[in-house]
Structure 1
Amino acid sequence: MICDWHGAILLVNCDSERTYWKKPDTEQDYISNVSDLKDMSAMVLRTRGPAKLPQGYKLTLHISQGDAESVRVFRSRSADNKKNAMSDEVLSEEVPYFGGEAEMKFYVEGLRFPDKGFDGLITINLSLLEPISEGLPETPIFTDKVVFKVAPWIMTPNTLNPVEVFVCSTEDNYQFLKGMRNLVDKSGYKLKICYKYENRGDRWMQDEVEFGYIDSPHHRFPVVLDSPRDGRLQDFPYNELLGPDFGYVTRVAQRKDVSSLDSFGNLEVSPPVTVRGKHYPLGRIIIGVAFPTATKGRNMTKVVQDFLWAQKVQEPIALFSDWLIVGHVDEFMTFVPAPDRKGFRLLLASPDAAYKLFRGLQNEGHGEAKLFDGLEDEQQLTLNELLDDDSLQTENNYVQSCIDWNRDVLKRELGLDEGDIIDLPILFKLEEDEGNQYRAVAYYPDMVNMIVLGKNLGIPKPFGPKVNGRCALEAEMCSLLEGLGLSCTFIDDFASYHKLLGEVHCGSNVRREPFDFKWWNLEM
């Protein structure tokens, strides 16, 4: 299919037709299976002319040295014989001329995604060469060309329907797994568990991978982006996900450049938005970085940022997340579907909302209600004690200012109004990190760090103060969200995730259906 602004569409052939001793098909210079052809774009050369060319004249296909790093061209000789016609080692090949009206079929394979220094455009040329004299090279007297655009890697927001949910099984997360199983079963989706022999004790499924997809008019398949964090889950995406019609891509950074901000809890995407008249039908990527004026802040590594920006169809937004010890945007924000307004709500953690709720409860005579009630190894705290802690209030004033800065960025860059945002009652505390910097962690389970499965939400169980036998934080969450047609399920992740500085979203991942909207219809 030829598109107005970029020509024909080309997929990166990053899946693997092999299921054992596998590697991405881009790493082999031959076609191992006829099924591999659907990952490629067909290119047909049609000729109409005399019975034969004059003596010494010939047709030649050719590509530039720069484009040769990004594409391979195979020539079809028979149904089961596909010859590698052009690659980084063969920049041109003579094309047989059959005379009269004829056509020849080629298959074009993308080798790499758009990235810094590569805009995804590839040109394949066909030239008619004329002989000058013996011993001199032929010269082109006519050249035609076709331009291919490499399909971008596309992320999927929470508003798209899930396909399957991924979690890890560890020695201590039985309670979490039980809650996740019940939620996924109730929601009607598939649950895939990565067991101990595979995860080697690494439970942070969200941080290791981000699911996306690539699309063309002739074919589409999911592609997992593997983060440079390379924890003990590092082999999971390659060994367990890569396969036929399931692609794999990664970006390798120097080890010294990798920080917690390179985990993919720090990589999200908004639902579709319109901002100052510009439509983003595939949403916008959201990452967390250091505050612009910081001199010692942590940032998402450059190779990952370059990759995300180069995809172009989901123009990224950078938020300030370095104020958190872990430093991930999913610690203070998420999106949920909604039946009105823009089709979604932005949920933001809000210490101000938490203090408003707790002071209201105190004024109603519930000051002796205890946080962490029912947790054997956790020191319980009354609302009165919490509200008397001036130091904690000061810390949360700082946290609120950080979230407010991000709130303004999100409103501006996503075209949001206050009515599109819901503030969730969540407190934080400051702790000293490994670099002797004071950064924030959630004071109790961070309810914004939830999993969104259609209208069903899996929310960290907060263990808030009980009022009339019910957790006041759970009641407030239900009050804020159930009016949108959402169902709240609270999952106990306290010991196995919260105490390790993560929550439900950090410990899970969701592969979702692709957008109905086709990226090649974007005006860019």
Structure 2
Amino acid sequence: MIAHRTLRIELGKSTRTLCVVGTENTVYLSRYAPVESKFFSVKCTPSVRCRAVPTTAGGSLFSPQPLTNSSVLFISMDTASELPNESKLSVKFYGSKSEELGNAVLHLTAVEISLDVDADRDGVVEKNNPNKASWKWGPKGHGAILLVNCDSESYGKKEVDNVNEDISKVADLKDMSRMILRTKGPAKLPEGYKLSLHITQTDAESVRVFRNRSAGQPQASSSFKYMLLKLFMEDYPLVLNKEHLAGEVPYLGGNSELEFFVEGLRFPDKDFEGLVTINLSLLEPSAQDFPETPIYTDKVVFRVAPWIMTPNTLNPVEVFVCSTKDNKEFLKGMRNLVQKNGYKLKICHEYMNRGDRWMQDEIEFGYIDAPHHGFPVVLDSPRDGDLRDFPYEKLLGPDFGYVTRYAKAEEVSSLDSFGNLELSPPVIVNGKNYPLGRIIIGVAFPTTVHGRNMTKVVQDFLWAQKVQEPIALYSDWLAVGHVDEFMSFVPAPDRKGFRLLLASPDAAYKIFRNVQKNGNGKAKLFQGKEEEISVDEILGDEKLQAENDYVQNCIDWNRDVLKKELGLDEEDIIDLPILFKILPEEENRAVAYYPDLVNMIVLGKNLGIPKPFGPQVNGSCVLEKEMQLLMEPLGLNCTFIDDFSSYHKLMGEVHCGSNVLRERFSFRWWNLEL
């Protein structure tokens, strides 16, 4: 759309103005004509285009035209001027066609102005994209993308980069989005004209803008490190922030480009949709003691990249576990599993974890992505256990970001630990595509009056990211209350590319009854441990049966939700044989009776499964054998890890005690159809 601007002219005087190439300037002629005027004519130099409405058919503006109250003159210029005021236009008014009443002269300078961003999302800042001032989702969409600068490139004290209002390292620039002001025109603007970059007070909460003042970069030298750092920071002065909503930027003259770096300050959230607008205005001087007025504004729109989770079906990059004084068997099993399959293992030692072994509960790995750059970002849980320093002190760094949400201590429950935050693989549901999967959280049953829920600030954050629409399951029936206690996903070579694994007391009882039927009822669970118990005793425990009937009902409710929300058929679900028990001291909530098979770590085609210590028949654990029968046809390998004393007895398992940084999706989030 062509921009329009209303111009003023003065009878009997010469005025000067700036005209932006590609805009049309409007003069309402009757405003400036003498009262007795009946006609007007217009003359201009060849570089100026003008037309009037209305005019007589075939009439030329060089000869007198009838003047009416609705006579409007439209003025435009197609090419930039080489010198100030080099073009000219004059308007002459007449009482009759031969009676001249006076004229007004307008001296014009034409400039090209374009504030540019990567609106077509190809990593290049193209010139004057027609869609740069709006944002649209989808593969045929448009609009620039901005990363939250939440990693740490800073010298000295570690902190998230966007805490500082300066750029201290070249590497920090790649975390920002380039914006270019392209201008073409005379060497200098006419006196008094200025260019100003500006944002709203609301957008200033979300964005910061720096200018590149130097064509070259300072060369590093250890003997002048401080001086060079100071020089480097001066090469990228801050233009816009919360204290400076507008800032003058230089006009460089000729055919030139001025580079800016735009920094994202916060993620989309309940109070922030994620869109920010940056404006560039050409200011015209007014009379003395009056401020300049804008005569042309160009603008660009950015969307802040969302935080994106990764599912079990993406390839692992690095596995994280804690080392404690009592988890040597667990660590041994994890080390063998991880290293055997060629992945990296990162161990958080006790000086940092202070005995807090629940790596899954403290953090959730995700990432942010833009056409020009992307990097992992860890979401830190508000649980604030003894692992609370680990994500900030050990993970935050160059190209590894950090984000958290703070809640009042009294609002935080076990459901705010991130064993209660999972992600489905990509799915299509009733024709709607979720190529980045769907977030899954656990909450209280809708009719529960005093149930526990994931805190509102975290839920608001997850919903605001938009690209992985959350699903709420019922998990408050569990003592710990995490969805990973009854569900997981594993890759599969067929159907939807994965299977949903669900804990199933019914499946467990079916196996145990078969063991009893085959004459092995005296076979023991937990053989050699204090908890040792026979299959006959388990099947004879009516209270335990009633408890597991209740648990199965809870899981079946979630099963129906997942089938609906993920578009699953029964063939997409595998039931794992797991029993639970109710703890009166935990307000009659449930925990796994034996190590919870579903609470596993998934590393490609290799599964790290809690060793269940099930009944031995013919020298084999029937529960381990069942897991192999269920998983191996999918091309998956089962490794059973002893977590009995160090995790299971503390109401957690392998998945609770580990975490996995994974590769990013190949699908780019901005191509979503929303």
The AA in structure 2 aligned to 1:511 is L
The whole-number CA distance in structure 1 between the counterparts of 2:189 and 2:319 is: 60
The AA in structure 2 aligned to 1:470 is S
Partner SS for 2:212: strand
1:136 CA displacement:
2.3
Retained in 2: the 8 A contact 1:15–1:244? yes
The whole-number CA distance in structure 2 between the counterparts of 1:20 and 1:462 is: 48
Pick the aligned partner of 2:372 from 218, 226, 229: 218
The whole-number CA distance in structure 2 between the counterparts of 1:225 and 1:379 is: 38
The AA in structure 1 aligned to 2:547 is E
Would you identify which runs of 4 or more consecutive aligned residues in structure 1 move more than 3 Å?
Answer: 3-6
Partner SS for 1:214: strand
Aligned: 1:66 with 2:66:
no
1:19 CA displacement:
6.3
Deviates more, 1:304-313 or 1:91-100: 91-100
1:165 corresponding residue in structure 2? 319
Pick the aligned partner of 1:307 from 440, 458, 461: 461
Deviations 1:88-115 (A, max 9, x none): 1111111111223211000000010001
Retained in 2: the 8 A contact 1:396–1:428? yes
State how 1:35-74 maps to structure 2 within 5 Å: 35-74=171-210
Pick the aligned partner of 1:262 from 388, 403, 416: 416
Retained in 2: the 8 A contact 1:19–1:243? no
1:134 CA displacement:
2.1
2:300 corresponding residue in structure 1? 146
Pick the aligned partner of 1:121 from 258, 266, 275: 275
Q: Which runs of 5+ in 1 are unaligned?
A: none
The whole-number CA distance in structure 1 between the counterparts of 2:193 and 2:531 is: 88
Q: Which runs of 5+ in 2 are unaligned?
A: 1-117, 121-135, 218-231
The AA in structure 2 aligned to 1:467 is V
The whole-number CA distance in structure 1 between the counterparts of 2:302 and 2:647 is: 46
The AA in structure 1 aligned to 2:670 is W
1:452 CA displacement:
0.3
TM value normalised by structure 2: 0.76
The AA in structure 1 aligned to 2:611 is K
State how 1:73-472 maps to structure 2 within 5 Å: 73-78=209-214, 79=217, 80=232, 81-375=235-529, 378-434=530-586, 437-472=587-622
Partner SS for 1:237: helix
Partner SS for 2:556: helix
TM value normalised by structure 1: 0.98
1:25 corresponding residue in structure 2? 161
The whole-number CA distance in structure 1 between the counterparts of 2:460 and 2:148 is: 18
1:21 CA displacement:
1.3
The whole-number CA distance in structure 2 between the counterparts of 1:52 and 1:304 is: 52
The AA in structure 2 aligned to 1:461 is K
The whole-number CA distance in structure 1 between the counterparts of 2:584 and 2:181 is: 65
The AA in structure 1 aligned to 2:511 is L
1:2 corresponding residue in structure 2? 119
Retained in 2: the 8 A contact 1:130–1:141? yes
The AA in structure 1 aligned to 2:478 is L
The whole-number CA distance in structure 2 between the counterparts of 1:239 and 1:356 is: 48
Retained in 2: the 8 A contact 1:325–1:433? no
The whole-number CA distance in structure 1 between the counterparts of 2:531 and 2:278 is: 68
The whole-number CA distance in structure 2 between the counterparts of 1:250 and 1:98 is: 42
The whole-number CA distance in structure 2 between the counterparts of 1:339 and 1:24 is: 41
Deviates more, 1:412-421 or 1:42-51: 42-51
The whole-number CA distance in structure 2 between the counterparts of 1:304 and 1:248 is: 15
Partner SS for 1:77: coil
The AA in structure 1 aligned to 2:333 is G
1:67 CA displacement:
0.5
Retained in 2: the 8 A contact 1:158–1:335? yes
1:20 CA displacement:
4.1
1:473 corresponding residue in structure 2? 623
Deviations 1:33-70 (A, max 9, x none): 01110111110110123443233221110000000011
The whole-number CA distance in structure 2 between the counterparts of 1:397 and 1:209 is: 33
The whole-number CA distance in structure 2 between the counterparts of 1:432 and 1:150 is: 47
Q: Percent identity?
A: 75
1:497 corresponding residue in structure 2? 647
Structure number with larger C-alpha Rg: 2
How many residues matched? 520
Higher relative contact order (CA 8 A, sep 6+): 1
